[in-house]
Amino acid sequence: MILANTNHTQSPHLPFGDQRTSPWYGKSIISVKQFNRHDLRYIFEVAHEMREMVERVGTFDLLKGKILANLFYEPSTRTASSFTAAMERLGGSVIPINEVKYSSVSKGESLPDTVRSLECYSDVLVLRHPEIGASALAAKYAKKPILNGGDGAGEHPTQALLDLFTIIEEHGQPDGLTITMLGDLKHGRTVHSLSRLLSLYDVRLNYVSPDILRMPSEIIQEIEEKGIPQNEYTGLEEALSETDVLYVTRVQKERFADPEAYEKVKGAYVITPETMQSAKSDMILMHPLPRVGEISMELDDDPRAAYFRQMEYGMYVRMALLAMVLGKA
């Protein structure tokens, strides 16, 4: 069985083993549209087991001998390092291409060629790229699974999975909750993925943004078709008191063609201790990070501030995803 080289007897409940017939074996994860509620329950069950194993033994050999290529065309702290930590905690190893300018991309190599090169040396790839659709394109050419680590202003599916896992860990099932997303909803790929994923549940969604950064109408339409109530605001005041989860995002400077337009909206919202006085006592405050002034550091010790816990949950979810696509969960 797996879990060799640990000093622990394997629990009969662990959903681990050689599962090459599992529906996720060899699959790419490009969009949250690939998931239904059954899949989510399964992923989170595996993520729970991963957390338990990390707490018990730290590192174990589920993916011993497997190699992840981490291919990042855009900066990252959390996605790159949590996938690295996830792979290493599972006994695997990582080829880090965190700065494509030192790779042959700077000589003009195309994405399909880069991906087809890296898959010769690895079993799974994580790709972050500035263009919408880049992961789908890579998956078209690759034989190994591609995990979308953010494609421009498109999607960030593994982030949405960890965001949903955070909501469930902190609040229980999302049914009945009101989730308010605030900030740059136009360019923010995390909110594009999270709103779609939440539409699988019986939730209410509020969107708070400056007029020029509203949630794209095609996403609103898609969610509307699922019968989910959605409201748009330019100020947080009206939505805050009914909010169970406040999901704050950064204005995505790198997606603005006009720097002046960015300057006008960059400080649109700042969550402070005063803001939190009007929030529910059990509301949770989330942020995919990095924050650049949208949440005051004075809030970091408020028990409702979930953004650091959110990052840790991310590693367990990514461990689960790696095990699934490599046929070990």
The residues of the shown chain that bind ligand CP, judged by CB under 6 A, are: 76-79, 159, 288-290
Both tokens assigned to 200: 């699988």
Establish if 318 lies at the interface with ligand ASP (CB under 6 A).
no
Establish if 193 lies at the interface with ligand ASP (CB under 6 A).
no
Q: Which of residues 153-192 bind ligand ASP (CB under 6 A)?
A: 156, 189-190
Contact 158, 147 (CB under 8 A): yes
Q: Which residue has the tokens 């949250």?
A: 32
Size of the site for ligand ASP (CB under 6 A): 8
Establish if 122 lies at the interface with ligand ASP (CB under 6 A).
no
Stretch touching ligand ASP by CB under 6 A, among 195-203, 213-221, 244-252, 265-273: 244-252
For the bound state, the minimum distance from the C-beta of residue 307 to ligand CP, rounded and expressed in Å, comes to: 10
Between 24 and 247, whose beta carbon lies closer to ligand ASP? 247
CA dihedral 214, 218, 219, 221 (to 10 degrees): 110
- Which option in ligand CP, ligand ASP, none does residue 31 bind, with CB closer than 5 to 8 A by kind? none
Long-range pairs for 30-33: beta carbons < 8 A, 24 or more residues apart: 30/135, 30/136, 30/139, 30/146, 30/148, 30/155, 30/157, 31/136, 31/148, 31/155, 31/157, 31/193, 31/196, 32/155, 32/157, 32/160, 32/161, 32/193, 32/194, 32/196, 32/197, 33/196
Contact 129, 79 (CB under 8 A): no
b/e map of 246-282 (b: 16 or more CB within 10 Å)?
A: bbbbbbbeebbeeeeebeebbebbebeeebbeebbee
Between 193 and 209, whose beta carbon lies closer to ligand CP? 193
Between 53 and 286, whose beta carbon lies closer to ligand CP? 286
Contact 123, 68 (CB under 8 A): yes
> Within 10 Å of residue 120's Cβ, how many Cβ atoms?
9
Both tokens assigned to 12: 């009969």
User: Cα-atom radius of gyration of the chain, to the nearest Å?
Assistant: 20
Contact 192, 154 (CB under 8 A): yes
Contact 276, 300 (CB under 8 A): no
For the bound state, the minimum distance from the C-beta of residue 179 to ligand CP, rounded and expressed in Å, comes to: 17
Between 98 and 230, whose beta carbon lies closer to ligand CP? 98
Establish if 152 lies at the interface with ligand ASP (CB under 6 A).
no
Between 172 and 290, whose beta carbon lies closer to ligand CP? 290
Which residue from 92, 145, 150, 210 is in contact with ligand ASP, where contact means CB under 6 A?
A: 150
For the bound state, the minimum distance from the C-beta of residue 316 to ligand CP, rounded and expressed in Å, comes to: 15
For the bound state, the minimum distance from the C-beta of residue 20 to ligand CP, rounded and expressed in Å, comes to: 30
Stretch touching ligand ASP by CB under 6 A, among 27-35, 201-209, 225-233, 246-254: 246-254
Between 115 and 289, whose beta carbon lies closer to ligand CP? 289
For the bound state, the minimum distance from the C-beta of residue 45 to ligand ASP, rounded and expressed in Å, comes to: 26
Establish if 82 lies at the interface with ligand ASP (CB under 6 A).
no
Establish if 288 lies at the interface with ligand ASP (CB under 6 A).
yes
Between 86 and 220, whose beta carbon lies closer to ligand CP? 86
**Contact residues: ligand ASP, CB under 6 A:** 150, 156, 189-190, 249-250, 252, 288
